[in-house]
Chains A and B, each alone.
Chain A
Amino acid sequence: MLETRPNFDRPDESYALLIKAHEGLSEAESHAMNARLILILMNQIGDHAVIAEALALARNVRAAT
């Protein structure tokens, strides 16, 4: 079951870290880093059903709101 309620320890710090991690990268490098990050986080989740839910939410978020 995908967690859609707040689950961050420190939401502002985590978000800032994400933005900072991309500093100084070209757009192509940023895309490549994002791809690696997605794979790392997918493995962290592990559960195929949760990954499927996350992908569906990401793809359809505009339609849902």
Chain B
Amino acid sequence: MRTPVTERYPLAFRLYPYVKSPDQTAVTPIRHKVVVAGGGPVGLATALDLGLRGIPVLVCDDQEGVGLGSRAICFAKRTLEICDRLGAGGSMLAKGVQWNIGKVFHDNRLLYEFNLLPEDAHAFPAFINLQQPLFEKFLHEAIVKAQSQGAPIEIRGSNRIDAVVRHEDHVTIDVMTPDGPYVLEADWLVACDGARSPIRSMLGLGFDGRVFEDNFLIADVKMKADFPTERWFWFEPHFKSGDSALLHKQPDDIWRIDFQLGWNIDRQKELKPDNIRARVSAMLGPDVDYELDWCSIYTFQCRRMEKFRHGPVLFAGDSAHQVSPFGARGANSGVQDADNLGWKLALVVQGLAPDTLLDSYDSERVYGADENIANSTRATDFITPKSAISKLFRDAVLQLAETVPFARTVVNSGRLSMPCTYDGSPLNGPDVASFPARTRPGSPCPDAPIGADWLLRLLGGNFTLLAIDADVPTTFSACGIPLSVLSVSGRDNKALGERYLGNATSAVYLIRPDQHVAARFEHFDEEVVAAAVGRAVAKDVVDA
């Protein structure tokens, strides 16, 4: 007996109410090109990326919209750049709270402060704070807009995936709806179904890693406070509301407060509003008026699947990897998964690349996940020392940090999400060693102003030949893929020159559709560039 589809959590926005699909009464199961499981940030970004590339994509979500609760709140520059390419960056930036300054306290002493973006000439700030439901709503708005312009994206609410059977070149999917079950087929299934991924369980796949023995209480409070728009982190705070605490501003006068509660707690008791209010009031002081907006207690794990690709099934976001929240590496890395997967899956579906290109999604994003797990594990070990000696050294660092500058570099309250550079990726082509290191093959392109516009906007989402004061043909294609050609000048453009030329006077870059550098050259040579395109789409032999 199958269980009916139920609302698992209250919704912030009902965005895609259930509508019966003709697929449900089809005599034989309908085959789709790509099915995305889950309508969270990663599922929506994946669907949007594919749809904008003209790839038909169906999103199945067991709910009808975005769940309540702020959850992920810090979105990094790279995420905003990706969302901008997808058409949602502008509304996120307009609504989000921008911040660059972080302060770190021990007890009641300010240890030091940091500025996240000491570099100017970027379209997007280092970070914005935005409640996850709004982030998802803006992605959904971009989907609606893309649909109206013909992007083949469909979202089915209250469509719960109950079973997945893997075949060599497709999957069979059992879906439950308010009108009962039906069966779908898909050439490709992208599982963006979260940390508890039912699809991972259905396929009997493991999710190994480390559980951290600690509980964190999130209290989102609404108040008109005149705290500055900064990230404040306390180790062993003087207000005794936890072993560490974090204060962060969100839009609409909402403030995120995190308290570290330790391992052996009574969860029900800690979640009682009176007990939460006692902690918050101790922190904010007796005279601050506030309301509790949303509260939750979480524990966390750092773990990942061994492989993110299993034949026609691809895992992205929390279903593939989970990190501690310190460093804002959860949703941000998930959006990078979508960014990495979208163009590759599109080329494979279009028959322009072999399906082995998707193996590079696995290797590149496993590399990214490991980097995120290493960073967030180190932060967690610093915030919650696991042994007496570890605590001794942690406390020694905190003691030194107030007066001795070097110790501040070791204080770790979360190393904030930076985009991954795919060093050693099989897709990387030739390099010119004398060009700047930050734009070496595998790097995400740093932005730079180009006249009144921005480089990343001009790059868009196709393979691009970027010529900086270099001669290139006005049109070029390789391996059956037409490239965009962008010619710019590094003269009188300090940011572009520093980031892409170094001491050179000209350069040619091959940029991937996810705006990572594939290869770079001193001069344009048709054969050499074509070979690099071939390598970047996992083709060993370049088509004539």
Contact = CB atoms under 8 A, between A and B. Distances in A.
B229 to A, nearest CB: 32
A40 B410 CA distance: 11
B396 A36 contact: yes
Contacts of B399: 32, 36
A55 interface: no
Interface string B380-407: 0000000000001101110110001011
B406 A32 contact: no
Nearest to B410: A39
A39 B392 contact: no
Interface string A17-50: 0000000000000011001101110010000000
B405 to A, nearest CB: 10
A35 B393 contact: yes
Interface residues on B, range: 10 to 19
Interface of B is mostly: helix
A32 B395 contact: yes
Contacts of B406: 40, 43
Nearest to B396: A35
Interface string B450-482: 000000000000000000000000000000000
Contacts of A32: 392, 395-396, 399
Interface in B395-447: 395-397, 399-400, 404, 406-407, 410
A40 B401 CA distance: 11
Contacts of A40: 400, 404, 406
B407 A35 contact: no
Interface string B33-70: 00000000000000000000000000000000000000
B62 to A, nearest CB: 47
A35 B410 CA distance: 13
Contacts of A36: 396, 399-400
Most buried by A among B396, B399, B404, B410: B396
A31 B393 contact: no
Contacts of A31: 392
Interface of B: 392-393, 395-397, 399-400, 404, 406-407, 410
Interface of A: 31-32, 35-36, 38-40, 43
7 contacts: A32-B392, A32-B395, A32-B396, A35-B392, A35-B396, A39-B396, A43-B406
Given A32-B399, A40-B404, A43-B406, 6 more contacts: A32-B395, A35-B393, A38-B396, A39-B400, A40-B400, A43-B407
Q: Which 10 A-B pairs have the closest CB atoms?
A: A35-B396, A43-B406, A36-B396, A35-B392, A35-B393, A39-B396, A36-B400, A31-B392, A32-B396, A39-B397
